[in-house]
Amino acid sequence: MAATIIDGKAVSKQIKAELKEKVEVLKKKGIIPGLAAVLVGDNPASATYVRSKAKACEKVGIYSEVIKHPATLSEKELINIIQELNGRENIDGILVQSPLPKHIDEPAMTLLIDPKKDVDGFHPFNVGMLLIGQPTYQSCTPYGIMELLKRYDIDPEGKEVVILGRSNIVGKPMGAMMVQKARGANATVTIAHSRTKNLPDVCRRADILIAAIGQPEFVKSDWIREGVVIIDVGMNRVDDASSEKGYRLCGDVDFKNCEPKASFITPVPGGVGPMTIAMLLTNTVRSAERRLTAK
C-alpha cells in the first residue's frame, strides 16, 4: 500500500493564508510586521533563499528589507548593522544569512542579535528556552516538521523517533522539540550520527524517522520498518543525464524504494523545504504581536 504523501507546499500555503489574516489584524492596530535579512557576499544559494523569503513576506503583507553587502564587509561594519536593526521599532525579525565570509565570526554575530528578534531561533537564549520547554522562537525547519506532523494528525507521543543528524539547525533542536512534555511531542528520541554503531538497526526501531544528514538517498528500504513515518529533510543535487538540467534533486532517503513501506513520507522537493520559510514568517508575525502587547 502506497504511503500518504505529506505535502509541504499545500501546508505552507495554508499557513501563509492564516498569517495574512493575522497581519491584516495587526495593520488595523497600527503594526506592520517587519523582517530584515542581511546578506554578505555572493553565495548563489544564499541569494536565492533570501529572495524567496522576501517574496513570501510580500505575499503575506510583511515588510521585508534585504541588506546586501560584498564579502569585503568588515566584522565591525556588520556589528553596526545588527545593532542598528536591534534598535529599529519597525523590524520584528532579524536574520543574518549563513554562511558568512571566513573573516567574520558567525557565532558572535548570532549572539549580537536581540533574542526578541531572533526569528531564526538560533540565539543561545532561545535554544536554551526551547530545551527547558519555555515559549520561544523555535528553529524554523524542525518547527515546520512539528507543524507538518500536527496537520497530518501524526502524534509522536510514546513513539520511537530516530533523527539522523546532529546539526544545530535541525538535529539538535528537533530532538529537543520531540522530547518535550507537551502535546504533539512526548516521544522517545534517538539522535544518530556519523559515529553511531549499527545505524540500520537503529533506523529500524523508528516509528518516525527524520533524515537530515545531507547524503543523497542514504536511507535504504531495508533500514526501515513497515508503516514508518518518514520525514526527509535532505536536499541534494545529483547528476542525471536524463534530466534537461543535467541533475535532479533528491533527499536523504531512497524515496522510490522506501515509499511503499512507509505510512507517511515527505517528498523532495515539496516536503519539508517550503515549511522553513512558512515558520520564519510565523515567528516574525509572533514577534510583531509581542510588539503590540508591549505598547
Kindly state the greatest CA–CA separation across the chain. 58
For residue 284, being part of any structural domain is answered with: no
For residue 203, being part of any structural domain is answered with: yes
Domain around 93: 30-122
Burial 178-188 (b: 16+ CB within 10 A, else e): bbbeeebbebe
The string of pLDDT tens digits covering residues 231-245 is 999 999 898 888 888
Cβ-based neighbour number of residue 168 at 10 Å: 12
The string of pLDDT tens digits covering residues 141-171 is 999 999 999 999 999 999 999 999 999 999 9
> Phi and psi (nearest 5°) for 208?
-130, 120
Same domain, 257 and 214: yes
Based on the residue annotation, tell me whether 215 is a catalytic residue of this protein.
Answer: no
Based on the residue annotation, tell me whether 53 is a catalytic residue of this protein.
Answer: yes
Among residues 7, 16, 22, 53, the one annotated as catalytic is: 53
Q: What is the pTM of this model?
A: 0.96
For residue 3, being part of any structural domain is answered with: no
Q: Over 70: is that where the pLDDT of 83 sits? A: yes
For residue 204, being part of any structural domain is answered with: yes
Selection from 30, 3, 44 nearest residue 90 by Cα: 30
Helix or strand holding residue 199 (H, E): helix 199-204
Q: Are the C-beta atoms of 191 and 212 separated by less than 8 Å? A: no
Same domain, 144 and 118: no
For residue 158, give the amino acid letter.
Answer: G
- According to the model, what pLDDT value does residue 245 have? 85
Same domain, 232 and 262: yes
Pull the grid cell for residue 98: 549563513
Counted domains in the chain = 2
Same domain, 153 and 213: yes
CATH number of the domain enclosing 212: 3.40.50.720
Domain boundary among 60, 87, 122: 122
Helix or strand holding residue 203 (H, E): helix 199-204
- According to the model, what pLDDT value does residue 243 have? 84
CATH number of the domain enclosing 97: 3.40.50.10860
Q: Over 80: is that where the pLDDT of 295 sits? A: no
The string of pLDDT tens digits covering residues 86-144 is 999 999 999 999 999 999 999 999 999 999 999 999 999 999 999 999 999 999 999 99
Q: Are the C-beta atoms of 214 and 252 separated by less than 8 Å? A: yes
For residue 281, being part of any structural domain is answered with: no
Same domain, 100 and 179: no
Cα separation, 160 vs 142, in Å, equals 17
Q: Over 90: is that where the pLDDT of 188 sits? A: yes
pLDDT band at 1; cut points 50, 70, 90? low
Strands 34-40 and 93-96, sheet pairing: parallel
Based on the residue annotation, tell me whether 239 is a catalytic residue of this protein.
Answer: no
- According to the model, what pLDDT value does residue 124 have? 97
For residue 278, being part of any structural domain is answered with: no
Distances (CA, A) of 200 to 41, 59, 182, 185, 214: 40, 43, 29, 24, 17
Among residues 118, 120, 232, 254, the one annotated as catalytic is: 120
For residue 96, being part of any structural domain is answered with: yes
* Residues above pLDDT 90, as percent of the chain: 91
